[in-house]
Structure 1
Amino acid sequence: MPSVPQELSTVSMLGRAYSLLGFQIVDGVVGAGFPQKPSHSAVFAQIKPEGSRLTELARGANMTPQAMGELVDELVEMEYVVRRPDPTDGRAKLIVLTEKGNACVAAGIATITTLEESITAILGERGHRELRRLLKRLLDQG
């Protein structure tokens, strides 16, 4: 008896879209001359312009401080970020983007802009707006 193809669940499709877009962003950034791993986006996606504490980055990425610390160590070694004393708390450190790190983030933003344009080209202006409206509605429930 032949098997009937199963339609992907909405959750599976969202997960696949998330992975695909994440890899496309990394590919764009790497292609712009900023080598990195997909996991580094956990830092780049949320670091504040004035710098962020490791614990804030870990919480925002839903990871342990130890795992986030490993990512930050790699990015320090790659010269994308530095650790500086937090001016509001001498015991704490801020993770701050370097000039190279800021250029890397700019390459990521440019890549995301291109991906947004691709989504509009595929779905049309109205379809893209509707996708954003529905995604926002889902995210507002979380």
Structure 2
Amino acid sequence: MAATHPPHVVALLYEAYLRLQGTVEEAGRAYDARVRPAHSAVFFHMEHEGIRLSRLAEKAQMTAQAMGALVDDLEELGYLRRVPDPADRRAKLIVFTERGDDALRVGYAAIDDVERRLAALLGEEGLAELNATLRRVITQF
């Protein structure tokens, strides 16, 4: 009989991420069922003053073509628009519309709820320790 090993920390972090992200995605679906989980790559990596598609794709570690399809979707749904880049009129910046700003507020409220639930589960000190530990992991890897 093979020995069973506890899950690796990478697996635990991934599972925790999926559950926390699922909570945020539920709030997004309640706001607009047409927004898909894949769209979170756009919302997460946007820069509020605007961003070029190539930079957005780079930040999300996606191809420009894949990111372009997501941006097209969100533009069609009224969350984003493309405007001329003041630094280079030939280029376009992707910016949030008013609807996009509203969706961001919904997303931030869901994230705040997740943080409150984590604080209730771990205590304020435990949550602060988790944050510090995750920041160390992020900066060291």
Matched position secondary structure for 2:71: helix
Q: What amino acid is aligned across from residue 115 of structure 2 in structure 1?
A: E
1:6-36 residue CA offsets vs partner (Å, 9 max, x unmatched):
31100001111112222211111222x2331
Matched position secondary structure for 2:48: coil
Q: Percent identity?
A: 42
- 1:30 maps to what in 2? 29
- Root-mean-square deviation over aligned CA pairs: 1.2
Deviation at 1:5, TM superposition (A): 4.1
- TM-score, scaled relative to structure 1: 0.93
- TM-score, scaled relative to structure 2: 0.94
Distance 2:98 2:129 in 1: 37
Q: Does the aligned pair in 2 maintain the 1:46–1:60 contact within 8 Å?
A: yes
Deviation at 1:46, TM superposition (A): 1.9
**Structure 2 residue 43 is matched with structure 1 residue 44:** yes
Matched position secondary structure for 1:50: coil
Deviation at 1:90, TM superposition (A): 1.2
Q: What amino acid is aligned across from residue 110 of structure 2 in structure 1?
A: T
- 1:18 maps to what in 2? 17
- For structure 1, the 5+ residue unaligned runs are none
Q: Does the aligned pair in 2 maintain the 1:22–1:38 contact within 8 Å?
A: no
Deviation at 1:4, TM superposition (A): 4.9
Q: What amino acid is aligned across from residue 24 of structure 1 in structure 2?
A: T
Moved more, 17-26 or 99-108: 17-26
Deviation at 1:86, TM superposition (A): 0.8
1:72-129 residue CA offsets vs partner (Å, 9 max, x unmatched):
0110111110111111111111111110000001100000000000000111111111
Dislocated runs of 4+, deviation >2 Å: 3-6
Matched position secondary structure for 2:91: strand
